[in-house]
Amino acid sequence: MANETVFKRYKGNPIVSAKAVPYANSIHNSAIVQFGKGFAGVFRVDGKDLYARLHVGWSKDGIHWDINPEPLKMKSGDPDVIVNEYSYDPRVTRIGSTYYVTWCNSNHLGPLIGLAITKDFKTFKQLENPLPPANRNCMLFPRKINKKFAILHRPSDRGHTPFGDIFYATSPDLIHWGCHRFVFGSVGVNGWQSTKVGPGPVPIETDEGWLLIYHGVWTSCNGYLYYAGGALLDLDKPWKVLFRTKDYLLAPHEPYERVGDVPNVVFPSSAVVLADTLRLYYGCADTCISMAEAKLKDIIRFIKAHSF
């Protein structure tokens, strides 16, 4: 059985709710990073029209947040590359002094990945959409691998996607992407990751490999349930899976994870490493954001001990 003592939930959960933005119906599945002497984030804010938009937020401690009530505005040198009004589930990766934002953008063909850069979380420059539709989850690795930018992504469809596998790809220039490699997919006909999987927070480099926290989905008689699992990927060939959890790391057990706009959802979306501790931020029931912490060594030990 999974040992949920690996992650300890913050006693003050949830840390972000719809109250943080006046027009919000919910705030969840967001990206948080260390920035300056504190933290910054790109947040998914679903308005009272139930449209998802990206907002910027700042915090001194990563727990108490000041989120801009106005949606994030991006600059683009190409009128054909725009942020769709419906944009969601961002990730943020720092490479050098630049922060790279990926999110689920969209066009008339369906969901696709958007890409932008910022250095100050005030000015954002949108780049070419890196992948064609349909695709919903994507993040960059925090350094180049074999001299190329690298991503994990999850091809999708135009619906709710009753399937999903994780893929790896590289690019020399953030525009031309190729060398797509299968990483891993769903498992079996039952269980917490039997329907689909998707990459969560930006991978974390460790001596044991790239630590990936991912989400897995089980289709029950009451619909989809979302869980968090973990994997270790080869440092030089990240499409090679060294270990992957058979048991989940975190499950929707608490009331704020069970009850919401979409019940029974734990959606890991960002992680910050503070000394020897990993702080995991995750969306709850598509309604709010919570936080849990674990020692890095304990997460790695759990993944290796509970692997396929």
Domain extents for the chain?
8-305
User: Which of 133-137, 149-153, 229-233 has the lowest average pLDDT?
Assistant: 133-137
How far apart, in whole angstroms, are the C-alpha atoms of residue 250 and residue 230? 10
* Partners of 125 in beta bridges: 75, 117
- 261-286 residue pLDDT tens: 999 999 999 999 999 999 999 999 99
- 2-48 residue pLDDT tens: 445 799 999 999 999 999 999 999 999 999 999 999 999 999 999 99
Q: Contact, 44 vs 286, CB < 8 A?
A: no
- Residues of the chain with pLDDT > 90: what percent? 89
How far apart, in whole angstroms, are the C-alpha atoms of residue 164 and residue 217? 9
How far apart, in whole angstroms, are the C-alpha atoms of residue 115 and residue 216? 24
* pLDDT for position 255: 98
- Does the structural domain 8-305 have CATH classification 3.90.1150.10? no
Structure tokens at 185: 């997919």
pTM: 0.96
Structure tokens at 194: 């039997």
- 170-219 residue pLDDT tens: 999 999 999 999 999 999 889 999 999 999 999 999 999 999 999 999 99
- 59-117 residue pLDDT tens: 999 999 999 999 999 998 788 887 777 899 999 999 999 999 999 998 778 899 999 99
